[in-house]
Amino acid sequence: MVRTLGDFAMTWNGRQIGAGVKAKDSQFTRLMEILLHNREEGVERSRLEDLVFRESNSDDLHHMFRSVIYNTKKKLASEGLPKSDYIVYENGSYFWTKDIPVIEDSTVFEEMCTAADAEPDPHLRAQLYKDAILFYGGDFLPNQTSLIWVIREGRRYRDLFGECMEKAVDLMRESGDFTSMEEIGRHATMINPLSEWEFVTMEALISMEHYEEARLLYERTVDYYMKELGARPSADMINMLDRLGGRLEYKFSLIDEVQKRLSEGKMHETGGFFCTYPVFQGIYRFMERVMDRSGQSAFLMLCTILDGSGKPMKEGAVLTRLAERLGDSIAVSIRRSDVACRYGKGQFLILLLNTTVENCDIVEKRINKAFSSEGQRTKVSYHVNVVTYEPFDE
């Protein structure tokens, strides 16, 4: 068995081959990846040499390559594979031997998709699509994404996976199989969190009247894109999540039960109120209206982490660590009546209520005092705007 989706691994009789290879990007691994995937059509010698040695400046690639072939055959024999020539050279190209059959997960996945497309019964077709989706383990050879042939194959399998998802969702929605729809939605999100499959899970949860789970997923999804990826979801996804969010309903309850569910209780009595971006947005829009009628003042503060040269810090482990510290510093520096949320990887939003411009300066100093440490070159920039309500003209 050869795994190429989500990782690269070879097994024979349940035992992993090449487990002792130190680097996943070794010449042995590169050779086996392309040879096994192109086992039917073979790989031309010059192309195979380039792929195995990549940017090598050696004047004697042929000799080096023959050495790699020899050592690979020796290693495969030592791994317990049946005696064979393993790698065969014919008509200027190298092939994997036909003596040892290969089952590759990417090929199996493609065959499963083809079988699903050909199934006439809608119920069985949906099940076949589901089987293929759950079998798909992730991107094709993710450790080799700098290679053009891997990029092309990876895009092809990713597109095929997306087509299976769309077809499966249509069938499951039509048949009312929302349990399966939730399952494939969660799987798709797990293996490819940048492809916005969360809306499939959310639609399934709402359709099954699991409203609280759907609400939490809605908030976590937008917050995840802000916090982990440093970007908002696409406008299409936001609109879809908002439409689905509009369907959230709760069954009949007594007002005491409703109030208990709404309240944060006694767990968070100190510090500012931290929330996800969707919640912050709702509070901000509400406060715009309150400002219009009450005459109270409110200010929006944007905090951005800067590097030593005064520019927004680039993504990385340092920014992640500093962002966590800035979040903690903000929490202890603002009042319980103030609201804050994360906005991207190195930014935070704060809504300061019933305050003045002078008090905003005081908040900045508090945050700096809690955030800064001796010798620290990074700092925080602050931009403050007054919150005003400007209704659209009818």
Give the pLDDT score at 291: 74
As for how many domains the chain has, the answer is 3
Residue 167 in any domain: the answer is: no
Do residues 302 and 186 lie in contact, with contact meaning Cβ atoms separated by under 8 Å?
no
What is the domain-level CATH number for residue 333? 3.30.70.270
Give the pLDDT score at 209: 83
Residue 35 in any domain: the answer is: yes
Domain boundary among 72, 96, 120: 96
Identify whether residues 215 and 298 lie together within a single domain.
no
Mean pLDDT of 37-58: 84
Residue 217 in any domain: the answer is: yes
Distance of alpha carbon 288 from alpha carbon 22, whole angstroms: 59
Residue 125 in any domain: the answer is: no
Identify whether residues 285 and 304 lie together within a single domain.
yes
Give the pLDDT score at 394: 41
Identify whether residues 287 and 367 lie together within a single domain.
yes
DSSP string covering 197-228, please? THHHHHHHHHHTT-HHHHHHHHHHHHHHHHHT
Give the pLDDT score at 309: 86
How many beta carbons lie within 10 A of that of residue 66, not counting itself?
12
- In terms of average pLDDT, the best of 36-50, 196-210, 267-281 is 36-50
DSSP, collapsed to helix, strand or coil, labels residue 364 as: helix
Mean pLDDT of 31-39: 94
Identify whether residues 306 and 381 lie together within a single domain.
yes
**Chain centroid, CA 123 distance in Å:** 30
Identify whether residues 277 and 376 lie together within a single domain.
yes
Residue 8 in any domain: the answer is: yes
pTM over 0.75: no
Identify whether residues 221 and 317 lie together within a single domain.
no
Identify whether residues 277 and 375 lie together within a single domain.
yes
| 76: nearest Cα among 58, 56, 113, 102 | 102
Identify whether residues 236 and 289 lie together within a single domain.
no
pLDDT exceeding 70 applies to what percent of the chain?
82
Mean pLDDT of 135-162: 94
Give the pLDDT score at 162: 95
Length of the chain (residues): 394
Among the residue ranges 111-120, 159-168, 224-233, 320-329, the one predicted with the least confidence is 224-233
Give the pLDDT score at 257: 63
Identify whether residues 241 and 342 lie together within a single domain.
no
Identify whether residues 381 and 278 lie together within a single domain.
yes
Residue 164 in any domain: the answer is: no
pLDDT in tens, 265-308: 655 556 788 888 878 888 898 888 877 666 678 899 999 999 88
Domain boundary among 213, 230, 263: 263
Domain with 286 in it:
273-386
Give the pLDDT score at 315: 80
Q: What is the mean pLDDT of the chain?
A: 85
pLDDT band at 243 (very low <50, low <70, confident <90, very high): low
Domain boundary among 96, 120, 152: 96
Among the residue ranges 142-146, 189-193, 224-228, the one predicted with the least confidence is 224-228
Counts for the chain of helices (H) and strands (E), in that order: 14, 11
Identify whether residues 280 and 374 lie together within a single domain.
yes
Identify whether residues 205 and 286 lie together within a single domain.
no
Higher per-residue pLDDT: 125 or 213: 125
Residue 92 in any domain: the answer is: yes
Residue 211 in any domain: the answer is: yes
pLDDT band at 344 (very low <50, low <70, confident <90, very high): confident
What is the domain-level CATH number for residue 41? 1.10.10.10
